[in-house]
Amino acid sequence: MIEIVRYLDTLLETSTIPDYPNAINGLQLANGGAIRKIAACVDFSTRTISHAIEEKANLLLVHHGMFWGGLRPITGPAYERLRMLLENDIAVYASHLPLDRHPIFGNNVLLSRQLGLGASGEFAQYKGIAIGVSGNADIATNELLERARRFAQTHGGDVVTTVIPEGRRTLRWAICTGGGASADTLQEAAETGVDTLIVGEGPHWTAVEAAELDIIIIYAGHYATETLGVGALAQHLAEKFNLEWTMIHAPTGL
C-alpha cells in the first residue's frame, strides 16, 4: 500500500495543490498492508463501502472523501462506516482538486474529450492554479447540449441548461466539473470571452447572471461529471501495479 500511496501522491501532486479544508487529499485511512483490489467511486458513503466489500476490494479510491461533511462525532452512520472499513481492512484514498485538474486523469480534460472538444487552455482559477479547461470550437450549442445530455444519461444523471437562442453557436467554451458554476467562474468566463460554460451544477442565481452576461451554462450533473477521473485513475493503478479494479456507481441524482 505504501508504494501505491507514494505513487499517487507524486502523480497527483497531492501535497502542493490547494483545496478546501475538508478535502484532506491523500491517504485518509490505512489498512493492514497489501492491496489486492481497487474500488473507485465519486463519493464516500455507506453505499459505496458496502459495494467495495461485496467486490472484495480493500482500497477505496474516492473523489469526495471521508471528511467532506466536516467535523462530527463518530456516532450513528459515521461510526457504522468506520466499523465497516476497519472490519474489512479497507484503506481510503481521496483526491479532489488534484484529480479534477490532472492533465491526463482529470475530470475536466476527460469530460472535454467525451464531448468531442479539444482543450487548449486553462479555466477556473483557484488560489493560483487552474482546475478546469477551455478551448475554441465552432459547433451549434444545441448539438453540444445533446452531447452533454447523452454523456450525463449514461453516467447517472441528466442535464439542464439556460435558454439557448435559435441558431446559436459555441465558439469558445470552458469546463469546470462538479459545483463549477459560481461567481468566480462566471466572472472568469466573461473576462476571457467564453460563451458556453459546462459545469456539474450551480446555484439558481448563476442561470440568471449567465443570461445577463450572454453566457450559456450547461449543467451536466455534479455526480456524472466527476465519474471519469476516479475510474481512469483506478484503471491506471491496476495496470501499473497488476491489480484488479472496479467502478462503483452510486448516483446522487444531482
Helix (H) or strand (E) holding 69, with range, is none
> Which amino acid is residue 184, in one-letter code?
D
| Burial group, residue 142, by CB count within 10 angstroms (0-12, 13-18, 19+) | middle
H or E stretch at 140: strand 129-140
* Burial of residue 2, with CB atoms counted within 10 A of its CB: 0-12 exposed, 13-18 middle, 19 or more buried: exposed
How much is the pLDDT for 227? 98
Give residue-wise pLDDT tens across range 36-91.
999 999 999 999 999 999 999 999 999 999 999 999 999 999 999 999 999 999 99
- Give the tens place of pLDDT for each residue, 84-133: 999 999 999 999 999 999 999 999 999 999 999 999 999 999 999 999 99
Rounded CA separation 187/209 (Å): 10
β-strand partners of 126: 129
How high is the pLDDT of residue 89?
97
User: What contacts 234, CB < 8 A, 6 or more positions away?
Assistant: 38, 39, 40, 61, 245, 246, 247
Residue 19 DSSP label: -
Instruction: Determine the Cα–Cα distance for residues 69 and 10; give it in Å rounded to an integer.
Output: 26
How far apart (Å, rounded) are the C-alpha atoms in residues 249 and 56? Answer: 16
**CA 49 to CA 44: how far, in whole Å?**
7
β-strand 121-126 against 129-140: which pairing, if any?
Answer: antiparallel
pTM of the model: 0.95
